[in-house]
Structure formats: C-alpha cells, structure tokens
Amino acid sequence: MARRYIALELESDTLHLAVSSVAEQGPQLEEVRSLGFSPEEGPLETLRALQQELQPGLADTVELLLPAVSAYARLLKYPFKSKRKLAGVVPPDFWYRLPVDSDGLLLDYVRRSGDGEQSQVAAVAVPSAQLRAVVEIFAAAEFPLGKASVLPGCLNHSEESSGERKLVAWQREGELGIALYDGGEIGRYALLPNPGGQTAEIGTWLQQQAEKLERHDGWEGLPVILYGVKVPLGEALAAAGRQVQAHGLDTPECSVSGAQSRVAWLALEGLRAGKGTRHNFLRGEFAPVSGWQGLRRPLKFSLGLLLGVVILGVVTLWSGYQRQVRETAQLEQRAEQQLRATFPEIQTIRDASRQMQSQLQQLRGKAGSGMRTDNSPLQLLRSMSQQLPEKLDVELNEWVLSSGEVRLEGSTATFEDVNRLSEAFGHLPGVQQAVVAESKLGSDNRVSFRMRLVLGGTR
C-alpha cells in the first residue's frame, strides 16, 4: 500500500479529514470529508470508527492541526547558524519575550533560511494541558497520532517560489486570522479570537490588518487566498478592491469546501516538506510510541567499528571539552552583559541566569501577568490594537509596562493623530488616564511622541 498522509482538524462538533498519497505527478488528494459528532459526547467514537475504516499503517503519517488562538508565536533572528547554539539561545530568548509565564507551555521552533550567517527562527508555544487532552482522546481511540502542527504555519508551501508574496486568511471555530506569505513561508500574522459582531465590522478589521501586514515591508495590493473564510467576508475584501483567490485544491476526484481546505493543504504539504522544516509538538512526553520506532533502529555497525568510534571519541574528548569551556564562558559573559543592560540597578552579579529569572519573576508579579486581567500585558496589547482609530498611521517603537503605567514611544503623521491616539487609549479598560508627555515634528516630517497610560481600576 502506498504511503498516506492523514490530516485531521477538530472543532467542537466536527472532525475535518483529508488523505493524500504520492502519485506519478506528485502528492494528490485521495479523499476529503467532514464528520459531525455530539459536542456532549466528544469525538472519541467518531475517531474509533474512522480508525477502523482507515486502518493507518506503519508507513502512514497522521497529523493533527491545532488552532492558533491558544498559541504564542515569535519570529526571532540570530547572527549565527549553529544548531547547537540555537538550541541554547532560542528557548530563554523566546520565554523572555512572552507576556506570560512559561509554565504549562510546550515550545517548538523551526530554523528558516537566513541571509549569510544569520538565522531566522519561527518559534511557537502551545498549552501542554490542551495538547495532552487531545492526545489522550486519540490514544483512547487507538488512533496512531504522529504529528501535531499549529495554524497558520501549517499553510507553508515548501515548493513555492522565493519571490512569491501574498496574504493568507483563515477562519475556523473561535478564530479569524490573516498572515503574510513570503516565498512559501508564513511570516507575521494578525489574529482575532472569537470573532463576533457584524460582518461589515469584521470585514473592516480583516482589510485593515491586510494593509498593515503588507505596508510593513512596503508592499501594496497583495492578493489574498482564503482557507475557510466565510463567503460574506471574502465578498467584503473583494468589494474593498482586494484580489481574492480560491484555494485551488479542488480536483475531479475531490471537491474541497472552505472548512476542509486547511486539512487538505496540510495533507499535501506533509508529503512535500522535508524533515525538520515544519513544527511538530508531539515530542518529549507527547512523543508517539510504537513498534515502528524499534524497527527503525537495526544493528548498523559491527562491534569492531563501535570500538573504533569509542577510541576516536576518547581522543577528541579533551579538545571538545576545551571548546565547550570557551563557548560557555562566552555565553556567560553575554548573559551578564544582557543582565546589566536590562537591570542596571543590579550592582553585584554572581549567577546571571538565576538573577535574570528572579528579576523576571518580580516583573511578572508587578505587571500582573494573568491572562484574564484587564491590566495584563497581553490583554492591554489586544485592547490597544482593537482601540486604534481607523486609518490612523502610527508606529510604536517602545512599549514598557512597569509601576502601574504603560510608557509608549512612537510616531504618527500629524499632531492631531497624537491627540486621537491619546483619546482612544484613554478609554481602554483598566486605564485611568492617557497623558502625552512630549510630541514634536521630526526631520522625517513625522510627529514623534511619548505617552503614559496610567493604570488602575476598570471602566
């Protein structure tokens, strides 16, 4: 039997399924469908029946698509390509940039191609509890789940031209998002959790985010591909002058609906992409366990070759140890420099890593990093994004939360825009007052400003 790639996506009452295989002309869809189930009973029985029907074999791959609404994503850049160095730097750097504590989150990152000796890393974290609940359902159904990826990174195209630029919009239960698609890879994106309200309002948000994403890099009028976006929203984009393209997944054998388009794309991309180029959160405690793991580890070396490797390792041990000592010293020096730059009030440094963690814990305690409080960094950022006046050209260069206030620095087109921004932010939940500390016209004909948002109480 030919190798199959089985892609699944779970919503509260629906299971979307796509199956692909490799044909002479490349990956092709074998079937695409959606299966309903009772939200009260859950998807367990549906998965059991599907497992009996499909009977995934050792050569098949089963991948689950996770929603973006509960994930945290960052694009990070580093001046080196060493995988070992990235493994030591990416996790602490990523956790430092999050507005929440790292406890209960599972991190996975993928290194993308960068310029010269630089690396670009797409890092994503998902809640472990949410992943564990889904994995347990598949285990109870005896459905061999092999991979788990997250939106919108699963919409990458590993064979896309490097010069191809467009926008990708998706909509599923509980979220609406739009992302910049550059050379086959998903970059920056905007997400609207639990989109409600009128279609016109949501369509306006979608169009505004599309303009912001493309304007950031100096582009304009990029076409947008829709994956499950409801028809009225697509029509609203087209009415605004945006070129809307179909997902192009339909074949004479398979008709793909909008809700099924995400798993259909994932099933095809799973066969196209190379190893290590896509996110997979099924690792560590969630790593799949099966007999296939043992079959892939046959005896490849004789005892004599093994002894030779051991001897060679002993010979090179000292030089490797010395190299690690030097690199460790360099990393410790960088950590100390970073600590002094971030917390200049610290006079004595004994253990930079522990002191940095201690300072971060204190800052989180002061900032109130709970995800459901009005003054949490994440909630403030979301509220500020939603409160921005329409057609306001603003660039924020600094955003600092400390001591009961938020300090902002940025630039706008006019002094009137600064006043509009101050008035809008003054009505944010949890903000008592928005104060413009300074505004002046710069050499680039833009108005630079500094603003303080005094926190306290809920409006």
Per-residue pLDDT of 83-113, as tens digits, reads 999 999 999 999 999 999 999 999 999 988 7
Which SS3 state, helix, strand or coil, does residue 185 take?
A: strand
The rounded percent of the chain whose pLDDT value lies above 70 is: 92
Question: How much is the pLDDT for 295?
Answer: 40
Residues 6+ away with beta carbon under 8 Å from 255: 32
Taking the chain, what is the end-to-end CA distance rounded to the nearest angstrom?
63
Last residue of a domain, one of 341, 367, 393: 367
Angstrom distance (rounded) from CA 344 to CA 333: 16
| Overall domain count for the chain | 3
Query: Alpha carbon of 365 to those of 92, 93, 129, 362: distances in Å?
Result: 19, 19, 23, 5
- Residue 306 belongs to a domain: no
> What are the counts of helices (DSSP H) followed by strands (DSSP E) for the chain?
11, 17
Say yes or no: 362 and 342 in one domain: yes
- Residue 244 belongs to a domain: yes
Last residue of a domain, one of 292, 323, 338: 292
Q: Which of 139-153, 280-294, 317-331 has the lowest mean pLDDT?
A: 280-294
Token pair for residue 430?
A: 């949890």
Say yes or no: 279 and 396 in one domain: no
Other CB atoms within a 10 A radius of the CB of residue 384 amount to 19
pTM of the shown model: 0.62
Residue 26 has pLDDT above 80, yes or no: yes
What's the one-letter identity of residue 56? P
Say yes or no: 328 and 440 in one domain: no
Alpha-carbon dihedral angle through residues 391, 397, 401, 407, given to the nearest 10 degrees: -80
Say yes or no: 32 and 137 in one domain: yes
Tell me the residue range of the domain where 411 lies: 377-455
- Residue 276 belongs to a domain: yes
pLDDT tens across 368-394, in order? 544 445 567 778 888 888 888 888 888
Last residue of a domain, one of 257, 292, 327: 292
Strand partners, 147: 63
What is the distance of C-alpha 205 from the center of its chain? 20
Angstrom distance (rounded) from CA 6 to CA 267: 6
Which tops the pLDDT comparison, 403 or 18? Answer: 18
Which pairing describes strands 61-66 and 4-10: parallel, antiparallel, or unpaired? Answer: parallel
- Residue 254 belongs to a domain: yes
Strand partners, 191: 177
Q: 353-364 b/e with 16+ CB inside 10 Å = b?
A: eebbeeebeeeb
Say yes or no: 188 and 230 in one domain: yes
Angstrom distance (rounded) from CA 337 to CA 349: 10
